[in-house]
Amino acid sequence: MAVAATAATPQQMDPSKLDAFMGKAVLDMGAAMHAALVVIGDKLGLYKAMAGAGPITSAELAAKTNTSERYVREWLNANAASGFVTYDPAAKQFELPPEQAFALTTLDLPGAFHIISSCFKDEPKITQAFRTGEGVGWHEHDANLYFGTERFFRPNYENNLLSSWLPALGGVTEKLTKGATVADVGCGHGASTMLMARAFPKSKFCGFDYHSGSIEYARHVAGRDGLLDQISFEVASAKSYPANGGYDLVTFFDCLHDMGDPTGAARHVLSSLKLDGTWMIVEPFANDTPEENHNPVGRIYYSASTMLCTPASLAQEVGAALGAQAGEQRIRSAVMDAGFTRFRRAAQTPFNLVFEARP
């Protein structure tokens, strides 16, 4: 009796498809190895030192950053091979093009690589979770995750929140201008909370997060920037934050899908809103079927969801595990099942969906 093959034999494989896959794998290996160098370059200020400096040698960059030339030379060559910097072989000089400089220093792209570094550090926990089915709480991750998340998401909020997302909500900007009460739930380090507070000085803001370390950091930054008269930061979960008499606006930035009980959280939001209040839900961009998300953005989000979002939800009560690619239909269901009567997509970017829910 013939035994069924457990793996493809050379006769069954298409050599051209194998070559194509191996080429893709080599690109991924290079990207994975280079990710660590982006973190190093960010921590040592190498990219910032190159930004606007024009052509520079490894010795000159090492002198500017008080680092070892031999290490810097190898780092520069890796960056040149990765397309992050350019190289002039005749002059033996490297240069950070203005587009790369903008992404690496102004858009704070290295924040994403700090998130990636935390995933590698926490891989043993996630591997074990695969075996047990148990969750890994947000608070159980490496600290690089919290700082990387703030740095990676903040530019997106700065570029969209005030200019397009809030104006897309019915009457919200007008309320904030006159003076409103706002709860920013799952606020992390408070970047979104403080951005809104600076733009609307007549409004009062409460930032809530269950992670005490993030709340402590947010209080420190708000105190440094003189915002504590306008903002309070408190440790509280999405199902237990105080209603404080009712909010005009409740915001969830990239966090509803992380929650174990999103419908329970939505129910609490409904109880904490004024009758004419608004809930703004910002979620990662996703279509409603998995195959529609099998693209470069979906690749990032599904991978992050495997390492961060799904484990976070499974560590909580209910453990709905919506994941970072939940899509509008599943978010709508969680919100409407909680008792909201109105739900719509208010805005979107290539990386985010913005929803408006009302009682």
* Mean pLDDT value of segment 334-344: 98
pLDDT tops 60 at residue 322: yes
**The pLDDT of residue 10:** 66
Asked whether residue 164 carries a pLDDT value surpassing 50, the answer given is: yes
* 195 located within any domain: yes
**CA-closest candidate to residue 178, choices 156, 142, 157, 203:** 203
Last residue of some domain: 106, 121, 146? 106
Task: Quote the CA–CA distance of 110 and 151 in Å, as a whole number.
Answer: 8
Give me the chain's average pLDDT, please. Answer: 96
Q: What is the mean pLDDT of residues 307-313?
A: 98
Domain match, 102 and 151 both? no
Residue bearing the bigger pLDDT, 6 or 167:
167
Is residue 248, in this structure, part of any structural domain at all?
yes
CATH number for position 350: 3.40.50.150
CA 70 to chain centre: 34
Are residues 38 and 163 both part of a single domain?
no
Is the pLDDT at 180 greater than 70? The verdict is yes
Is residue 11 in some structural domain?
no
Pair (242, 102) in one structural domain: no
Number of domains in the chain: 2
Is 261 in contact with 289 (CB distance < 8 Å)? no
Kindly tell me if the per-residue pLDDT of 272 is higher than 60: yes
Could you tell me if 144 and 62 lie in one domain?
no
Structural domain of 62: 30-106
Residues 220 and 264 in one domain: yes
Looking at the structure, tell me whether residues 51 and 194 fall in a common domain: no
Q: Are residues 223 and 84 in the same domain?
A: no
In a domain, 100, yes or no: yes
Same domain, 156 and 303: yes
End-of-domain residue from the set 85, 106, 127: 106
Kindly report the CATH number assigned to the domain that includes residue 94: 1.10.10.10
The residue out of 84, 106, 128 marking a domain boundary is 106
Same domain for 40 and 165?
no
pLDDT band at 2 (very low <50, low <70, confident <90, very high): very low
User: Does 246 reside within a domain?
Assistant: yes
Residue 97 covered by a domain: yes
Does the residue 20 lie in any domain? no
The pLDDT confidence band at residue 7, using thresholds 50, 70 and 90, is low
Answer yes or no: do 196 and 102 share one domain. Answer: no
Asked whether the CA dihedral 38, 145, 330, 180 is positive or negative, the reply is negative
Q: Is residue 6 over pLDDT 90?
A: no
Q: pLDDT tens across 38-92, in order?
A: 999 999 999 999 999 999 999 999 999 999 999 999 999 999 999 999 999 999 9
Does any domain span residue 94? yes
Is residue 9 scored above 50 in pLDDT? Answer: yes
255, pLDDT greater than 90: yes
Confidence of residue 3 (pLDDT cuts 50, 70, 90): very low
Intra-chain end-to-end CA distance of the chain, in Å: 66
pLDDT for residue 111: 96
Q: Which residues contact 152 (CB under 8 A, 6 or more apart)?
A: 108, 109, 111, 112, 114, 115
DSSP state of 288: S
Pair 180, 205: CB distance under 8 Å = no
Same structural domain for residues 102 and 148?
no
Q: Are residues 97 and 143 in the same domain?
A: no
Residue 12 pLDDT grade (very low, low, confident, very high; cuts 50, 70, 90): confident
Mean pLDDT for the stretch of residues 183-187: 98
